[in-house]
Homo-oligomer: A and B are copies of this chain.
Amino acid sequence: MRIGEVAEQAGVSVRALRYYEEQHLLVADRAAGGRRRYPESAVERVRLIQRLYAAGLASATVREVLPCVDSGETEASPALLERLVDERALIDQRITDLLSVRDRLDEVIGVARNPDLGCAHDDTRPGGRPGTIWKRSHEGR
């Protein structure tokens, strides 16, 4: 595939793909003339990279982690393993933060929608999953 196709299908910019290559997150061989050629699998890989970024991993960490996630295994050093465990802890923290913030937003939104129910509980919220996903707006970052 050409870079433009990959970009479109993965929903990122061409510049982003060149940046990923610069950062050694994504490789491409070159056709005669110097243009990048990607395998089909590149699309999925880019989506994975996006998810990792969206999860707040630093690019250096992504660089370390990607090979493992690719192969589905770690032969790596215990040092890297520790890094992964630490990253997992950070991600847990971020999830907790996000859930907390989402709950606050839900409160505010709920009150704004039903100003009369000032003190009433929103009982459409069973203990586990707070709130309903009312709307899915799609926006990159």
Q: List 10 A-B contacts (CB under 8 A).
A: A51-B97, A55-B97, A56-B141, A69-B104, A72-B108, A74-B112, A84-B105, A90-B137, A95-B98, A95-B102
Q: Judging by beta carbons under 8 Å apart, are A99 and B95 in contact? A: yes
Please report whether the interface of chain A is mostly helix, strand, loop or mixed according to DSSP.
helix
Q: Judging by beta carbons under 8 Å apart, are B51 and A101 in contact? A: yes
- A102 and B93 CA atoms in complex are apart in Å by 11
Scan residues 32-65 of chain A and give those whose CB is less than 8 A from a CB of chain B: 51-52, 54-57, 65
Q: Judging by beta carbons under 8 Å apart, are A109 and B84 in contact? A: yes
Scan residues 1-59 of chain A and give those whose CB is less than 8 A from a CB of chain B: 51-52, 54-57
Closest 4 CB pairs of A and B: A89-B130, A74-B112, A92-B131, A55-B101
- Chain A residues near B (Cβ < 8 Å): 51-52, 54-57, 65, 68-69, 72-74, 76, 81-82, 84-102, 104-109, 111-113, 115, 118, 125, 127, 130-131, 133-137, 139, 141
Which of the residues B95, B101, B137 comes within 8 Å of A52, measured between beta carbons?
A: B101
With a CB–CB cut-off of 8 A, which chain B residues contact A69? 104, 108
Q: Judging by beta carbons under 8 Å apart, are B139 and A90 in contact? A: yes
